[in-house]
């Protein structure tokens, strides 16, 4: 079980832990890892059942209370989870993992001042407890103290070299430190791990886009799409890459998928702006032929002044086709230019991509989502 748990292969680890649990239902050693594997897999029903079962056994074991705490943590009841993790420490003050789990819950509530001492205490008891090194690195990463974050992630990787999630976090920090090639190397190593890590491919694609290596970014994003076909940010990035490659039809397809998946998000309008931008470019490149006025019944009206040509009605109908954009017969602005101006799309009255208020490049996926299960497409992004 632990051999599969350490490299973050939670599905296989769960199967092994489950077999051990069925063979020895009174065994508590390893239950803290079993419950954490269920936490990562979002299996709330199985985790709830496990918590009920272990509470019927020996309550003087810290592993029991870690299982119960993980159960409440998965339900995002962080304060209740903290009570049970502290109960585990009351039962055994030297139980390292309980300190780390307390730190994770404090970090989930953005109480970094309380989380840091928990991680430090865990490392005082066991300096090779890489989970605590990760916890400290994650806090510094979220506080944008990237040099400190790099140090702590490297310490975690010295202990657990085969964990692709840890390597992805290190890559993100290196990218933030303007070391894109070093970051790319870490994402490539993480992508080679098993099971396939969607976060590794996604972050690899972001770095490749910033390096203008769009063909390579496209291949990485296709891998992410296979792992997480319903992630809006993946389709959004695919659309951006296809735009750079001048494959507008593919770009429009993925922007539309992203918009359908993201209708309730604040990023809906960002996606819609990209779609309108594509349509605008398509109109400039392939303008539709100017429609001719419908033929009137009978001979056309003749002007008495000229002795021929269109009459007053036809002259008025044709005049708006000959006027420049932005003007009209009556002197009011042309409808397509309403709300226009630099940085705005015609007719929208809101900023476009590249205009004021638009999402700057590289800000997708949205920043600031540091919840317990946020972080990357296709898997739980927060490590425990």
pLDDT given at position 358: 32
Q: Which of 229, 200, 208, 206 is nearest to 381 (CA)?
A: 200
Q: Taking every pair of C-alpha atoms in the chain, what is the biggest distance, in angstroms?
A: 108
pLDDT given at position 42: 93
pLDDT given at position 93: 96
CA gap 252, 380 in Å, rounded? 29
CA gap 4, 299 in Å, rounded? 87
Give me the average pLDDT of each 10-residue run along the chain (384 residues).
78 89 88 93 94 91 96 94 96 96 95 96 96 96 95 95 91 95 94 84 94 94 91 90 90 87 71 72 51 44 36 28 28 30 29 32 34 36 61
pLDDT given at position 58: 86
pLDDT given at position 96: 96
Q: Look at residue 358 and give its three-state secondary structure.
A: coil
């Amino acid at each position: 079980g632990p051999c599969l748990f350490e490299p973050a292969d939670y599905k296989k680890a769960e199967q092994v832990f489950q077999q051990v649990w069925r063979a020895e239902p009174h065994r508590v050693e390893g239950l803290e890892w079993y419950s954490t594997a269920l936490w990562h897999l979002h299996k709330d029903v199985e985790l709830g059942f496990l918590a009920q079962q272990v509470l019927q056994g020996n309550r003087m074991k810290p592993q029991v209370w870690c299982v119960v705490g993980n159960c409440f943590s998965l339900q995002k009841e962080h304060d209740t989870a903290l009570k049970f993790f502290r109960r585990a420490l009351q039962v055994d003050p030297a139980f390292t993992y309980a300190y780390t789990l307390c730190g994770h819950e404090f970090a989930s509530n953005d109480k970094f001042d309380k989380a840091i001492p928990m991680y430090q205490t865990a490392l005082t008891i066991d300096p090779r407890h890489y989970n605590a090194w990760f916890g400290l690195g994650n806090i510094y990463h979220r506080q944008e103290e990237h040099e400190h974050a790099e140090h702590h992630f490297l310490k975690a990787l010295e202990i657990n070299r085969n964990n692709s999630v840890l390597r992805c976090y290190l890559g993100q920090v290196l990218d933030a430190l303007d070391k894109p090639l070093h970051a790319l190397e870490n994402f490539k190593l993480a992508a080679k791990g098993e099971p396939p890590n969607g976060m590794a491919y996604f972050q690899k694609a972001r770095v490749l886009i910033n390096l203008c290596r769009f063909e390579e970014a496209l291949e990485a994003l296709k891998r992410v799409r296979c792992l997480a076909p319903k992630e809006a940010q993946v389709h959004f990035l695919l659309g951006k890459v296809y735009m750079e490659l001048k494959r507008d039809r593919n770009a429009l397809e993925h922007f539309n998928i992203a918009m359908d998946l993201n209708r309730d998000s604040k990023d809906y309008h960002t996606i819609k702006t990209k779609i309108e931008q594509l349509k605008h470019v398509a109109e400039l490149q392939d303008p539709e032929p100017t429609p001719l006025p419908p033929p009137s019944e009978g001979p056309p009206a003749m002007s008495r002044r000229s002795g021929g040509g269109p009459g007053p009605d036809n002259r008025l109908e044709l005049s708006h086709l000959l006027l420049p954009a932005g003007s009209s017969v009556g002197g009011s602005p042309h409808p397509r230019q309403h709300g226009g101006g630099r940085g705005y799309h015609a007719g929208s009255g809101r900023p476009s991509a590249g205009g004021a208020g638009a999402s700057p490049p590289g800000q997708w996926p949205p920043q600031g989502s540091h919840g317990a299960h946020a972080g990357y497409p296709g898997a739980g992004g927060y490590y425990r």
